[in-house]
């Protein structure tokens, strides 16, 4: 049996699809191929449950000739958009498609009518392959870091004198980035948390957060180190894996932290955990503390996010209790 699993983006969504990949491989003994966007293939390349990864820059026509030669038995479409539809139309394999519940999301965002299912997206992903007899195994998420991307955090900390020399330095990983500004704490609130942390704080984000990370580290009184833009995704995942605790907005590294079973302090702005994408752990494990401002009539204002608050007040993040986050760190 040969299957193609489609999930083009983004980091978190691909990590949340890993239980499907593992279960299909282990329970069906199938040859598993995945199709994603080139910028995200590093999430999948080291996954031992995947036999082959196909990647595109923008158009499925880039790989369609190769996909047709694979002669798949089934297509598992976990993205369910126009691109994935083109793949399904172009191949003869039997397709199974993920329900994106777009109508329910529209209702909660635009009318504040909650018809969202009380089901994590991982279980909704798994429902896509249930017709094949595949069941969720209770083992949580997967993330595999290539050996060459492991980071020696102990050396990093002691070299920069942020922690006393010890065999296993303890530190907080703070994921300051997010795809949209309305999912991120304001800079001054991040600085306040870093200053009050009893442990060193390593700031993680992409090149777009490098300048903000520098400002935070400069203002945190030597308590924070800016790593934003210095590491690739797998190297950032290595920093997360070795952390004592992880503070994260609703973003991809939050799900990677959950894959490693970390204690997570998840901070929510314009999006809500009820969308079904809160940190997901193995059965019987719960290590996430959620911080959000409940009761705002404007929240959620989007299922994704904006560059600035549509209302101008940004209360969903401005009113997050910093003191409660610091207490949870202790």
pLDDT digit string (tens) for 266-288? 999 999 999 999 999 999 999 99
**Residue 41 belongs to domain with CATH number:** 3.40.50.2000
Rg, C-alpha atoms of the chain: 20
144 assigned to some structural domain: no
Same domain, 300 and 157: yes
How many residues are recorded in the chain? 330
pLDDT score, position 158: 77
Which residues form the domain of 53?
A: 2-132
61 assigned to some structural domain: yes
Residue 282 forms beta bridges with which residues?
none
Same domain, 169 and 303: yes
Nearest-angstrom CA–CA distance, 21 and 31: 10
pLDDT score, position 168: 57
Same domain, 184 and 307: yes
Same domain, 223 and 320: yes
Same domain, 194 and 259: yes
Which of 20, 13, 283, 35 is CA-nearest to residue 130?
20
Task: Summarize pLDDT for 127-169 with one digit per residue, the tens.
Answer: 999 999 999 999 999 999 999 999 999 888 877 656 555 555 7
Same domain, 206 and 63: no
Task: Summarize pLDDT for 208-231 with one digit per residue, the tens.
Answer: 999 999 999 999 988 999 999 999
Same domain, 103 and 237: no
Banded pLDDT at 317 (limits 50, 70, 90): very high
Contact 98, 128 (CB under 8 A): yes
Which of 253, 283, 265, 6 is CA-nearest to residue 123?
283
Last residue of a domain, one of 132, 166, 200: 132
Q: Which two tokens stand for residue 97?
A: 């498609």
Same domain, 172 and 309: yes
3-state secondary structure of 103: helix
Which of 241, 260, 273, 306 is CA-nearest to residue 15?
260
User: What is the separation, in whole angstroms, between the first and last Cα of the chain?
Assistant: 50
Same domain, 159 and 200: yes
pLDDT score, position 156: 85
Domains in the chain: how many in total? 2
Task: Summarize pLDDT for 26-55 with one digit per residue, the tens.
Answer: 999 999 999 999 999 999 999 999 999 999
Same domain, 60 and 112: yes
Same domain, 55 and 156: no
pTM over 0.85, yes/no:
yes
**Angle at alpha carbon of residue 325, lines to 322 and 330, rounded to 5°:** 130
Contact 115, 107 (CB under 8 A): yes
Same domain, 179 and 264: yes
Nearest-angstrom CA–CA distance, 235 and 248: 16
| Per-residue buried b or exposed e for 292-319, using 16+ beta carbons within 10 Å of the residue's own CB | beeeeeebbbbbbbeeebeeeebebbee
């Amino acid at each position: 049996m040969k299957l193609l699993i489609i999930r083009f983006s983004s980091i978190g969504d691909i990590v949340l699809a890993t239980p499907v990949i593992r279960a299909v491989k282990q329970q069906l003994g199938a040859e598993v191929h995945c199709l994603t966007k080139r910028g995200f293939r590093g999430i999948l390349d080291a996954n031992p449950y995947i036999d082959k990864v196909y990647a595109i820059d923008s158009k499925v026509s880039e790989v369609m000739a190769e996909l047709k030669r694979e002669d798949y038995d089934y297509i598992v479409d976990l993205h369910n958009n126009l691109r994935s539809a083109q793949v399904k139309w172009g191949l003869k394999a039997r397709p199974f498609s993920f329900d994106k519940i777009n109508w329910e999301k529209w209702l909660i965002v635009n009318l504040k009518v909650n018809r969202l299912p009380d089901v994590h997206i991982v279980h909704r992903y798994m429902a896509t392959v249930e017709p094949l007899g595949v069941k969720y195994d209770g083992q949580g998420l997967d993330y595999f870091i290539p050996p060459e991307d492991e980071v020696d955090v102990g050396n990093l900390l002691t070299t920069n004198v942020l922690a006393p020399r010890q065999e296993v330095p303890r530190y907080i990983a703070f994921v300051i980035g997010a795809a949209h500004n309305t999912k991120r704490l304001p800079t001054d609130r991040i600085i306040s948390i870093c200053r009050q942390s009893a442990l060193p704080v390593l700031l993680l984000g992409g090149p777009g957060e490098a300048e903000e990370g520098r400002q935070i580290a400069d203002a945190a009184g030597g308590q924070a180190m800016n790593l934003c833009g210095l590491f690739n995704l797998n190297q950032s995942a290595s920093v997360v894996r070795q952390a004592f605790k992880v503070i994260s907005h609703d973003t991809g590294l939050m799900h990677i932290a959950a894959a490693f079973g970390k204690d997570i302090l998840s901070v929510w702005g314009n999006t809500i955990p009820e969308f079904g994408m809160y940190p997901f752990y193995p059965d019987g494990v719960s290590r996430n503390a959620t911080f959000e401002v409940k009761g705002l009539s404007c929240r959620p204002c989007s299922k994704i996010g904006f560059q600035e608050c549509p209302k101008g007040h940004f209360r969903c993040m401005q009113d997050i209790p910093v003191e409660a986050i610091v207490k949870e760190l202790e």
